[in-house]
Structure 1
Amino acid sequence: MAARNNNNNNHPHSLLHDATTSMPVHLRVTSLAVITVVATIISLSFPASSLITFNAFLISSFMLLFAVTRSRWNYCRGRSGRFGQLPPGPKPWPIVGCLPEMLANKPVFRWIHSLMKEMETDIACISIASTHVIAVSCPRIAAEFLKKQDAVFASRQESMASRTFSGGYKSAVLVPYGDQWKKMKRVLTSEIVNPVRVTWLQDKRVEEADNLVRFAFAQCEASRDIDVRSLARHYGGNVMRRMMFDKRNFGKGMPDGGPGIEEEQHINALFTGLDYLFAYCISDYFPCLEGLDLDGHEKIVKEASMMMKKYQDPIINQRIREWRQSGDGDRKEPRDLLDVLINLKDSKGLPLLTPDEIKAQTTEIIMAGVDNPSNATEWTMAEMINQPELLRKAVEELDRFVGKDRLVQESDIPHLNYIKACIREAFRLHPVAPFNVPHVAMSDTTVASYFIPKGSQVLISRIGLGRNPKVWDEPLKFNPERHLGEGRAELSLMEPDLRFISFSTGRRGCPGASLGTLMSVMLLARLIQGFSWENYPQDSKINLSESENDLTLKTPLTLRGRPRLPPHVYPSF
């Protein structure tokens, strides 16, 4: 369904909000609205030839709804005289907003970005039901949201998926602003990802980096092609399980060190959960429709959550029993992050976290650690195969600072600026997700001279920032060199100026940036140092097209590797 035109003489583009008719920010969804939503979905799901009568009913419903709500719209838009111009965007329909367009244009993130490109705007407002979704692709405007007015936008969107994976909002990252978020954020920053704790877990990460090389070496010796995406994702899953549960396998694993069926199911559930975490589910905007599962999201999310619980919860339950039933004389030192969470105490010496909070935070920690390193590594390797000089420079840096008689270690990372420049470039050009985790406005405010109503969802576009031609020369070219000319003695994966997003910033910034850096650099550095890589056939180029539904490489990267270090350097089984 095409967006309707708005005759706004102050802007050269037609798909714009009318500031005087776009202010219904908190209308209730009546029973008529529910009928209209369902009618819209059905009309988009079946051939038009069978829906003539139904479409007539749909139009009548819109007319009736508009007549019923018109007086209230007028009241809302003029209730205090504080309203200003909303950011430009498609004009919404009554009650349902841009829901019909959202349903007709999948994936939604590509539709939003195409709208912004068509309107030539760095900030846009798409109204869905009573919610204003604000998309931003300009570093300066993004800084207003995440830095200057960080306190206003410190809440989170409530959604079916975020509620499911956070155990009913009992964790930290996905929880709306409030006491629970403050409590769990303190737990994360002071007990889980602080520098002392990250150092404490180093041995577990090193063992998994060794396992990564050991497994890849075995594949090379067996003359097998290596699925880089699978290898990278399972490395992330192994590291997170080792740090969380002090184990890499839920079952026996494979004789060659590869993942077993349990790990395959677990990692697939994690990435499915990440794909559907903020996926524009209909019931997120019309809560009264939850349970009908009109778009199929609820079933997928619940199955992914149950698969994670299947493997994680028995370990957590058993460990809680062990710790809370042991006497003072039986106490032992914590050996992993799960032990740390279980043993936290409040001011009265009682357990700080409930079992449900421990389970929810465990899931969130694991989900947060697996996606960025694997995505950046797969894209970087693909770009390097197509530009061999990039791979040559990375190998030269590793040979210069590390040599060939030992494997690269975390202590080498400060010297590996070219490797980090490659990862920064992957974060910029090939982000793991189109938008940052949504922020929610806790009060009315003004940003970039536009009115942002309370309850608006703010989406900072990773694509828009990283590929913005006003910020980057040749924005679609993979060029790590651009990050080396900034006069920094030691390059960081953080981007404080928001020219791209790696770990975000502000109150809701990622508290695990240092851990994410270690995992990302070690994964890429170990693969480049340990093996010579080539495509097959050798003279072919990697297809760098993106998947239609997300930002991953359209076809998982499969390469052939050859060991390039002396045999004694490779860990043996």
Structure 2
Amino acid sequence: MASLSFFQSFDHNLLFTLFSLLISALLFFLTRKPKSKPVNLPPGPPSWPVVGNLIQFARSGKPLYLYMHELRQIYGPIIHLKLGNRTTIILSSPDLAHEALIQKGQVFSSRPPETRTRAIFSCDKFTVNSATYGPYWRSLRRNMVQGMLSSTRLKGFRPVRESAMDKLIERLTYEAQKNNGLVWVLKNVRFAVFCILVSMCFGLEMSTEMIEKIDEMMKTVLIATTPRLDDFFPILSPFFAKQRKRVLQVRDEQMKLLVPLVQQRRSAVRNSGSDPSAAPFSYLDTLFDLKVEGRDSVPSDAELVTLCSELLNGGTDTTATGLEWAIARIIDDPKTQARLYNEIVSTVGDRKVDESDLEHMDYLNAFVKELLRKHPPTNFSLTHAPTEPATLGGYDVPVNANVEIYYSPISEDPKLWSNPEKFDPDRFLSGREDADITGVKGIKMIPFGAGRRICPGLSMAMLHVSLMIARMVQEFEWSAPDPDGKIDFSEKVMFTIVMKNTLRACVKPRVKRT
């Protein structure tokens, strides 16, 4: 359930539009007294007064991950950037990531202060992802993992997944029939994933129209929380009154849409009595009477909306974009598609793939692992922050500094991987290469993060990706719209790393064996 880091979601185009406002702020900040005690910060490009390195980044005209790739060639695997009022430390080597997340995990397991916008939607950091390391976080994470995402609980949602998979196949079949075999991949898989999460979250029967309405609301929330210039320069906040008003409006719309669902679920649970089938289990059930360490009250309706939104937004785009990259890879290499299909047939025969079959599909599991190595959901980890003055790689890291892990230099490090630029699931077969995606046994690829703040939805995400790939390959033969067409693997950053050109594929139903 990883989500977009604050660091990589900033839109550098805003810097050009609002540069004049920075000049106004410059005189104010220059009058501030400098820190009396110097610190040994990591190397990095020289920064400008007040604005730090923001203007340099904007003038580069490059996406942040490409800009960071260039800086890494100059300054090495640990870099310091000053982004307005934020001290940012970027790590891009397995040793540094291991030092921060595993060796010094307790120190680096907190989050930096929230922007005012995000604090509105997180109820002042009352979520698993954003909570400060401490009692609130422990209570919320323990509840999510044990009460919702344990293997036992996940098995209980099998009927939900089966229904969503069947509907996905129906949607793809219908769309292909209407469009000469062509389907939009991301749109369809994303909706299937969202349907699963909505059911898991609320435990209510909903119409397609209602689910789509919730989905649009969640997208609006993500847009509303995109960082603005005043997040880096609070003194500019008077210039953003209109944007703050819009944020409050979006939050109000979110509450009006989701609170009735919360109340409906609460009523269903109370009225179920001795018949548990009257109210199938949902995430909300674990939250109504949740006792959070250090608080006397149970979560408010606003906090329940926030926690549900975290599950929905955290688990949708990360999974859906991975599935789009997966289909792109099997179209690009017909031999890979054939191997996946043959493994499915040899494992399940003519019956529909069941999730219990997945553990017996070695090539599928290797394919998914390679997918996560080459196409992690985000370029950067969710932001970490030290709870006390600390060091990394021999350099000082101040309290509340933004500490980011840059993934691709690790997952494509030629010292760790053979032919890292090649998409090769076979590297994970026969013991030739391997990697523990949790980072516990060593960091070679950590698409879900590592250490104490590792994504709690790791198991759920792996299950959803593997099951959906298996079902889609079992039901359809996938190819490019143009028989001679090549897949463009260029990427861009939205809420996650998506294909620059949204994938449209040609599907042909498999011939059922008799």
* Structure 1 and Structure 2 fold alike (TM over 0.5): yes
Q: 1:396 aligns with which of 324, 335, 342?
A: 342
Cα distance in structure 1, aligned partners of 2:431 and 2:168: 33
1:53-132 matches, within 5 Å, as: 58=23, 66=30, 68-69=31-32, 72-73=33-34, 75-77=36-38, 83-84=39-40, 86-105=41-60, 109-110=64-65, 112-119=67-74, 121-132=76-87
Tell me which of 446, 458, 461 is aligned to 1:516: 461
In structure 2, relative to structure 1, the CA distance for the partners of 1:339 and 1:307 (3 Å cut) is same
Could you tell me how far 1:456 is from its partner in structure 2?
A: 0.9
| CA pair 42-332 structure 1, distance change in 2 beyond 3 A | closer
1:448 to 388, 393, 396: 393
For the pair 1:370 / 2:316, whether they are aligned, the reply is: yes
The equivalent residue for 1:179 is 135
Q: Choose 438-447 or 120-129, whichever is displaced more.
A: 120-129
Task: Give distance in 2, aligned partners of 1:236 and 1:289.
Answer: 39
Q: CA deviation at 1:237?
A: 0.3
Normalising by structure 1, we get a TM-score of: 0.77
With over 3 angstroms needed to count, the CA separation of the structure-2 counterparts of 1:427 and 1:290, relative to structure 1, is farther
Aligned counterparts, 1:521-536, within 5 A: 521-536=466-481
Looking at structure 1, the residues matched to 14 and 360 of structure 2 have their Cα atoms a distance apart, in angstroms, of: 58
2:3 corresponding residue in structure 1? none
Residues 289 and 220 of structure 1, relative CA distance in 2, 3 Å threshold: same
Q: Name 1:142's counterpart in structure 2.
A: 97
Q: Partners of 1:428 and 1:164 in 2: how far apart?
A: 34
Distance 2:250 2:426 in 1: 40
CA contact (8 A) 2:15 2:229 kept: no
- Structure-2 change in CA distance of 1:351 and 1:299 (3 Å): closer
Q: Displacement, 1:342?
A: 4.7
**Deviation of 1:493 (Å):** 5.8
| CA–CA separation in structure 1 for the residues paired with 2:14 and 2:163 | 53
Structure 2 residue ranges without an equivalent (≥5): 1-11
Q: Report the count of equivalent residues.
A: 497
Matched, 1:200 2:148: no
Matched residues in 2 for 1:297 and 1:134: separation? 29
Q: Which amino acid aligns with 2:50?
A: I
CA offsets 1:383-422 (integer angstroms, 9 cap, x no match): 221221111111121111122x111111011112222222
Looking at structure 1, the residues matched to 317 and 297 of structure 2 have their Cα atoms a distance apart, in angstroms, of 31
Determine helix, strand or coil for the equivalent of 1:442: coil
CA distance in 2, matches of 1:163, 1:104: 30
Contact 1:244 1:362 in 2 (8 A): yes
Separation in 1, partners of 2:79, 2:433:
34
TM-score, with length taken from structure 2: 0.85
How much identity, in percent, do the aligned residues show? 23
The alignment partner of 2:491 has SS state of: coil
Q: Any idea what the Cα deviations from partners look like across 1:508-553, whole Å, max 9, x if unmatched?
A: 1112221111111111111111101111211211122113666310
Distance 1:183 1:43 in 2: 39
How many Å separate the matches in 2 of 1:263 and 1:402? 32
Aligned to 1:292, what secondary structure does the other structure show?
helix
Equivalent position of 1:425 in the other structure: 370
Contact 1:379 1:553 in 2 (8 A): yes
| CA deviation map 1:51-108 (0-9, x unaligned) | 8xx99xx49x858854x44xx426132xxxxx33x21111222333223234445666
Measure, in 2, the Cα distance between the counterparts of 1:118 and 1:89. 11
| Aligned partner (choices 159, 182, 189) of residue 115 of structure 2 | 159
Which range is displaced more, 394-403 or 214-223?
214-223
Q: 1:486 aligns with which of 428, 431, 440?
A: 431
Which of the pair has the greater relative contact order for Cα pairs under 8 Å at 6+ separation? 2
Bigger radius of gyration: 1
Paired residues of 2:365 and 2:466 also in contact (CA < 8 A) = yes
Unaligned runs of 5+ in 1: 1-39, 78-82, 254-259, 569-573
Equivalent of 1:214, from 138, 157, 170?
170
When structure 1 is superposed on structure 2, of 425-434 and 521-530 the one drifting more is 425-434
Give the corresponding residue for 1:191.
147
Shift of 1:228: 0.5
